[in-house]
Structure 1
Amino acid sequence: MNFEKLEVWKRSARLSAELYKATADLRDYGFRDQLTRSGLSVPSNIAEGMTRTSTKEKIRFLDIARSSLAEARTQIYIGIDIGYLPSIEGKAWLEETHHISMMLTGLIKTIAVNE
């Protein structure tokens, strides 16, 4: 399956780009780096997983993507609380991470059943 056609990949790549743009001027390089790396890990692991040949490997990489998403979600919560991230956009990103997580769970279940 071509990962670029997956809605979950498209949405996670868009979220990653938004996080990069929102933190471009942030002086706390440690926070910015951690958030952008976890955000970037999501579409990257989806892409890597979907190009693997074995079901077990596909699921493993999708699970890593889901874990990275949880990490990014945690950092978004903290970023909002400490004033690094705008509240309105932050809440939208939190909602998006919830939807992406559900999509990843569904994709994992589909792959497990069909392959």
Structure 2
Amino acid sequence: MEEIKHKDFRDLTVWQESRKFSNAIFQLIKTFPAEEKFRLADQIIRSSRSVNANIAEGHGRFTYKDQLHFCIQARGSLSETLNHLTQAVDCIYLSQETFNEYYLQYKKVEQLLNGYITFLRSKT
């Protein structure tokens, strides 16, 4: 099995951008109503944080196959975050204009993650 030349996961652009996205989400949910603290707000924080957590965990496994698995999990969490943002618009906690700004950040992370997944697949 081929081992990955180990660099710190924090050097990965995809991890850096997913971290920025997660931090932006954290600031956003502060604007949600207090009654959503343990409902939608908690879910969106958890799913957004799961993206970079999965990238980091997979990176620590040292094999391309494991990294690929965790990056696919990260992509699922990213999609879940988009779903929660969409629900926030439906609940009128978020304007369409603000959603569009976050959607651009989402797309950036998605493109980087898909590129990284493609790279990892080429290695397995």
After TM superposition, the score normalised by the length of structure 1 is 0.90
Distance apart, 1:24 and its partner CA: 2.1
Could you tell me how far apart the structure 2 residues matched to 1:64 and 1:21 are?
24
Aligned to 1:88: 97
Separation in structure 2 between the aligned mates of residue 10 and residue 90 of structure 1, nearest angstrom: 21
Q: CA deviation at 1:25?
A: 4.7
- 1:70 aligns with 79
* Structure showing greater relative contact order (alpha-carbon pairs closer than 8 Å, 6 or more residues apart): 2
Say if 2:10 is the partner of 1:21. Answer: no
Choose from 11, 14, 20 the match for 1:8.
14
Residue 59 of structure 1 and its aligned partner are, at CA, apart by: 0.5
The aligned residue for residue 4 of structure 2 is: none
Aligned equivalent of 1:49: 58
Q: Aligned equivalents of 2:9 and 2:95: distance in 1?
A: 31
Unaligned runs of 5+ in 2: 1-6
Aligned-partner Cα distance in 1 for 2:27–2:81: 15
Partner of 1:101: 110
Amino acid in structure 1 at the alignment position of 2:109: I
Q: Distance in 1 between matches of 2:91 and 2:69?
A: 33
**Which runs of no fewer than 5 residues in structure 1 stay unpaired?**
none
The secondary structure found in structure 1 opposite 2:62 is coil
* Runs of 4+ with >4 A deviation: none
**TM-score using structure 2 length:** 0.84
Shift of 1:114: 3.3
Code of the residue aligned with 1:98 in structure 2: it is K
Q: Which moved more, 1:7-16 or 1:62-71?
A: 7-16
Say how many residue pairs are matched.
115
The DSSP-based 3-state class of the residue aligned with 1:83 is coil
Taking every aligned residue pair, what percent have the same amino acid on both sides?
27
- Name the structure with the higher helix share: 1
**Following the alignment from structure 1 to structure 2, what is the Cα–Cα distance between the partners of residues 55 and 110?**
9
Aligned 8 A contact 2:65 2:120 in 1: no
